[in-house]
Structure 1
Amino acid sequence: MSEDQRMGLHALVVDDEQPVLDELVWLLGRDERIASVRAAQSATDALRLLEVGDVDLVFLDVVMPGLTGLEIAKVLTRFKHPPRIVFVTAHEAHAVDAFELNAVDYLLKPIREERLRESVRRARDDGTPSQAKPDDTIAVELGGVTRFVSRRSVTYAEAQGDYVRLHLLDGSSHLIRTPLGALAEDWDEAGFVRIHRSTVINLSHVREVRMVSGRCSIVVPYGAELVELQVARRHVRGVRERIQERAQ
């Protein structure tokens, strides 16, 4: 357990709207997992506070005069020990950019206390800003609309150039901008395993493992259908071991 997990998180709230700033400071002050809360109404004040004091968690408004929250987050990625980031905004348009910056959460205004507490939980559980969690929410875009889907609902993922297409239990599919290799590595602890150079599966959704004429395939659900996915020979042993481990 890290020091900030034992002693509580030191939070910084950054928002140019005073009522929102006051409300977030008050709500965070009610959370027993927060050791201290500081506030800033501008990027300049925020960066000054970040440079002079220990901050574990930053609540960043996305749209502000001067530097935006997204631009501040990019500055923070260059810190030796960057704080965890939660974006706070009245708009969903920047959600994908936010998660690409390894934000632990994305809060929509008006803020509900129970939803804010969930953001704090995610921040405490997140050992590093880029660490993947089993119940991560993924932001995907379709026709200019941002939708949030649970990673647990992903049955398998396929490489498509520099993108990955996620296939969900409900039969929908969504493109996200990330290489399949990086996704496989980041999602390994969440129960995802690579079965082919172009395919990653969610072990929790495996219905069948088929061995026919020395070739292995995995069956997973996709909407109302079952999809059979081939396992590359070099992955067969590792995949079967992971499936057996999960069954024990």
Structure 2
Amino acid sequence: MLRVLAVDDEKPLLEELLYLLRSDPRVLSAEGASDATEALRRITRALETGPQGSDAIDVVFLDIHMAGLTGLDIARLLAGFARPPLIVFVTAHEGFAVQAFDLKAVDYVLKPVRPERLAEAVRRVCAQLGQAQQAGQHPAGSAGTAVPASPSLLSSPSSPSASAASWASPPAAPSARAVPVQRRTGPEVTVPDRTPDQIAVELGGVTRFVAIADIAYVEAQGDYARLYTDEGSHLVRIPLSTLEERWAPRGFVRIHRRHLVALGRIDELRLDAGTTSVRVGSAELQVSRRHARELRDLLMRQATG
């Protein structure tokens, strides 16, 4: 059973990665760190307590592009320890695969992370740990090459470029299939829409189709957006500006740099000491001065037909 540390400075991506890792029966525990400093603190504590300690870490799933130290910097620092944890890089960039191989990473997973690709990375980690235990070695002291899914993935086991190519070329996506509508918890990512009246979201391999008419408002979260309905919320990998442009004909209006609201779902407009807010169901959302007058005009025209 693996003890995992996942490191990513983008919170939605870290939450998604942790959700997928915790869903894998081969993972005993999965904790997250949102920056290099926190990651190094946890890894140092794990090395001090040893492989049998309560803070032990078997493998680090590590983003490359982060503020401050990069994932490659962290891997180089760990290479100086006698018994470092294994490394799996998780990145949106293909261009660092050769450097990852040089640092003896077990795998190189491209974002957006697919559940089946992450499961393969976990399998490679388990295989390398198992080989090291059979040989009576710590995994860092064994051959630090990737464990391929099949012999055909590598044209030459001793070729760094061949290994890097196998990592940077993830398996083909599975064919389309009917998927059930399920209530699940955890971050979600978008897949193409089925019809113009719906938006598709995916959670742990389960695709849901959410009717746009059911969405009350949308909140920006970096390059993501969280869709709020009466039943819950869904995180999608689409910027708020894109949804604003796409859904304007459907009556969605921008009221703030963080919020897009369905005009017909506004229950109340409030003016208080020079500030404007709207009530959408149980949520009260601030309206920026830039958008306040336009929103009042739109609501007035709506009320008068």
Partner SS, residue 19 of structure 1: helix
Aligned-residue offset at 1:79: 1.8
Partner SS, residue 79 of structure 1: coil
Aligned-residue offset at 1:132: 4.3
- How large is the Cα RMSD of the aligned pairs? 2.8
Within the candidate set 7, 10, 18, 2:3 is matched to: 10
Aligned to 2:89: 87
Q: Percent same amino acid among aligned pairs? A: 47
Partner SS, residue 94 of structure 1: helix
Question: C-alpha distance in 2, partners of 1:137/1:92?
Answer: 21
Aligned to 1:218: none
Within the candidate set 117, 120, 140, 1:118 is matched to: 120
Aligned to 1:150: 153
Q: 1:137 to 1:59 in 2, by over 3 A?
A: farther
Check conservation: 2:109, 2:118, Cα contact below 8 A.
yes
Equivalent runs, 1:1-248 vs 2, <5 Å: 8-52=1-45, 53-126=55-128, 127=132, 128-129=139-140, 130-132=143-145, 135=148, 150-151=153-154, 153-154=155-156
Check conservation: 2:22, 2:29, Cα contact below 8 A.
yes
Is the radius of gyration larger for structure 1 or structure 2?
A: 2
Question: C-alpha distance in 2, partners of 1:41/1:134?
Answer: 28
Aligned to 2:49: none
Question: C-alpha distance in 1, partners of 2:38/2:2?
Answer: 20
Aligned-residue offset at 1:150: 2.5
Aligned residues between the structures:
144
Check conservation: 2:105, 2:145, Cα contact below 8 A.
no
Q: 1:131 to 1:32 in 2, by over 3 A?
A: same
Q: If the length of structure 1 is used for normalisation, what is the TM-score?
A: 0.53
Q: Any gaps of 5 or more consecutive residues in structure 2? A: 46-54, 133-138, 164-305
Q: If the length of structure 2 is used for normalisation, what is the TM-score?
A: 0.43
Q: 1:75 to 1:29 in 2, by over 3 A?
A: same
Q: 1:108 to 1:114 in 2, by over 3 A?
A: same
More strand by percentage: 1
